[in-house]
Structures are given as C-alpha cells and as structure tokens.
C-alpha cells in the first residue's frame, strides 16, 4: 500500500523536527519543508525527503507544486509550522506569518493540490490577553484581541483560512511548548541553576504549558480522526502560577537556595525597549522586545481544552513536573545545562 504523503513546513525547528520524527514513526512518506540554508541537525533520518518552497513568490511556488505533483503526487496532509517568532521589523511578522501562508494556500488551491488536511500551527498569543480579574481560562470561542505583532499576524492568517469555503484547515493555538530541543525555556532553567529566580511584575500570573510530545500526538490524532475546519486551544489542561512553575524547575534541578527577584513591569518595559532599539541599530532581531514585554505583562495564560478531550479523548502523557524532568535530562545529556 502506498504511504500517505505529508509535508511539514518549518521542519528544522524545535516543533517541526519533532513532528517529522512522529510522522516517520507513523509510517508517512515524510517531506521536510526547509530552506537550503536551514540546519538539518535534527533531520538526519535517511527516510526524510526535502523540499525548499518559495513562499514569497506565488508564481514560482505554483510551478514547484505542479512539478512536485507530476513527479510524486499531491500531499495528503500538510502541517504548516514555518513562521517568524522574532523579527527586525514588525511588518516582517505579517509578511511571513500571514502573507506567505496566504500565498501557499492560494498556490495549493490554484494548482488543484488541496490536501486532505492543512494544519496551521498558530499560537495562544493570537488570542490576546486573558481575564486578569477572575482568571477564568480562555476558550476557543473568545473573541481574539491580540496585542502583539506576532499574535496579530497569526490571527490574520487564521481568519483568512476560515474564510475559504470548504478548505480543510485545522487551527491549533498552543500555549508555551517545552521539551527536548527547545531553547526558550532553557534560558530560565540556566538562570535557576545559577541560583537566580526572576519574575516579572508583582500581580499573580497564571501560566499553562504543553510538552512537545503531547502537542505532536494531538496533531496526528486530529489528522487521523479526519477532523477538519475546527480550531483548538492547546495545553496540558493544568494551570500554574509563575512561582509554582519556578518551584518545579528548582525541585528537578535540586536547587534549594536561589535568589528570588520580582522585577517591576516598568523596568521590564524599559529594558525591552532598549534591547529592541539596540538590536535595530545592529540590524538584528531580538526575542526581548516590546512584544516580549506584552507577553510577560499578561497575567493569565490559562486555557480551556475541553474540545480536545471531547473530540480525540486527549489526556496528557506528561504533566509539568514529568515533562520538565525529561527536558532537563535531555539538556544535560546534550551538554546544554
């Protein structure tokens, strides 16, 4: 029997490369969509096939898709993870996360290459600030009000996908994703290991998380169950204060004595402004910018995952402590921590 063909864009990254691993495990003919200049560090399996699609040039993109289909047939499933999480200019978020997605989907439609499912990896950031009074979890039917350039660009792409009659989209809005290969939470864990536990702001903050393997299992469960034209908020279903999260990290690292600092938000804002302007002077992008400040300022990242439980019976394989243990074990093995 012919293998089902799957394309994972953004395959060189933390999430993308882990999705590739799962696709291979499940027996898909797996195509990794990456640029020629992208790292293949986590894409070493000999069964992975590669394609470099030109999202910025729809004419060329259509030609690539036609040539691919003539030689290999169309993709059965596409998981679109490629995108920007940091940029030198705010307009770059719209260009890559929204306009390139639009080019890609229009090229698929115009070349008669619409897959059985098109999974768009969005972000909980597309929802905007949650309830910071009663701290009720966000629901998928909440009207999104993103307050970051990144979140706004993701929401534009989401809304456009939903506007296409009959297009088989699936929109996932994961919260903070962590696990082996991730470098974002590594920064915090290194700080704790060095004896420093830093928080932003004095008001209570609720956080939510999803371990990478749980996120990947959700993606393939939705695909293989044939669910289409739905959107989901994604977390492990639990919520934690920032202090509870940091306590788990300290416990796993066996770090009893740390200096706990709460930095006022106005200082965080000032530091983010300086970081952003300094990076701009040198023509570089930085993750610590005005968008990052707004994310750190947000007090409620809790989200409701009842639809995932109802539709695919989702139960996380990893609660936060177990996931942090596996992540730190991997960091140590790789010499990162």
Give the mean model confidence (pLDDT) for residues 18-33: 98
Give the per-residue pLDDT at 294.
Answer: 87
Asked if 256 and 196 touch (Cβ cutoff 8 Å), the reply is no
pLDDT given at position 76: 98
Structure tokens at 300: 């409620």
Q: Residue 292 has what pLDDT?
A: 83
Please state, in angstroms and rounded to a whole number, the distance separating the CA atoms of residues 310 and 37.
41
Q: Does residue 243 lie in a domain region?
A: no
23-27 mean pLDDT? 98
- Cβ atoms of 33 and 103 closer than 8 Å: no
**Does residue 267 sit within a domain?**
no
At 117-130, the pLDDT tens digits run 999 999 999 999 99
The verdict on residue 273 lying in a domain is no
pLDDT on residue 275: 87
Domain-located, residue 188: no
Range with the lowest mean pLDDT among 66-80, 237-251, 263-277, 310-324?
Answer: 263-277
CA–CA separation, 12 and 39 (whole Å): 6
Give the other-Cβ count within 10 Å of 280's Cβ: 14
pLDDT in the model for residue 277:
85
Q: Is 297 left (phi over 0), alpha (psi -120 to 50) or beta?
A: alpha
| 296 domain-assigned | no
Three-state DSSP class for residue 119:
strand
Query: What's the pLDDT score for residue 1?
Result: 65
The count of structural domains within the chain is: 1
Q: Is residue 205 part of a domain?
A: no
Across the chain, mean pLDDT equals 94
- 246 found inside a domain: no
The domain in which residue 229 lies consists of 5-178+210-235+302-316
Residue 126 included in any domain: yes
The mean per-residue pLDDT over the stretch 139-147 comes to 92
Convert the pLDDT of each residue in 209-227 to its tens digit: 999 999 999 999 999 999 9
CATH number at residue 17: 3.40.50.720
pLDDT at 105 over 70: yes
Return the minimum-mean-pLDDT range out of 50-54, 188-192, 256-260: 256-260
Average pLDDT of the segment spanning 178-185: 95
């Amino acid at each position: 029997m012919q293998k089902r063909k799957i394309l994972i864009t953004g395959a060189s990254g933390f999430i993308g490369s882990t999705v590739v691993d799962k696709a291979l495990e499940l027996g898909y003919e797996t195509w990794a969509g990456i640029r020629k200049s992208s790292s293949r560090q986590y894409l070493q399996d000999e069964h992975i096939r590669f394609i470099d699609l030109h999202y910025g040039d729809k004419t060329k993109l259509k030609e690539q898709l036609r040539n691919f289909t003539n030689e290999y047939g169309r993709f059965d499933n596409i998981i679109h993870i490629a995108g920007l999480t940091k940029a030198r200019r705010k307009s770059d978020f719209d260009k890559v996360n929204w306009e390139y997605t639009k080019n890609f989907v229009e090229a698929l439609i115009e070349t008669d290459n619409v897959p059985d499912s098109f999974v768009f990896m969005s972000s909980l950031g597309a929802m905007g600030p949650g309830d910071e009074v009663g701290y009720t979890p966000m629901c998928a039917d909440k009207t999104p009000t993103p307050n970051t350039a990144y979140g706004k660009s993701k929401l534009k792409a989401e809304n456009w996908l939903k506007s296409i009659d009959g297009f088989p989209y699936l929109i996932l809005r994961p919260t903070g994703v962590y696990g082996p290969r991730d470098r974002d939470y590594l920064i915090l864990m290194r700080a704790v290991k060095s004896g420093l536990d830093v928080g932003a702001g004095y008001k209570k903050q609720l956080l939510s998380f999803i371990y990478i393997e749980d996120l990947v299992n959700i993606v393939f469960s939705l695909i293989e169950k044939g669910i289409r034209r739905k959107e989901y908020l994604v977390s492990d279903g639990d919520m934690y204060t920032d202090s509870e999260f940091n306590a788990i990290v300290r416990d796993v690292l066996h770090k009893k004595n740390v200096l706990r600092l709460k930095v006022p938000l106005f200082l965080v804002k000032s530091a983010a402004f300086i970081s952003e302007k300094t990076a701009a002077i040198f023509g570089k992008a930085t993750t610590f910018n005005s968008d990052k400040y707004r994310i750190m300022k947000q007090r409620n990242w809790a989200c409701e995952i009842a639809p995932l439980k109802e539709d695919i019976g989702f139960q996380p394989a990893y609660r936060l402590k177990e996931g942090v243990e596996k992540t730190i074990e991997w960091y140590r093995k790789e010499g990162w921590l």
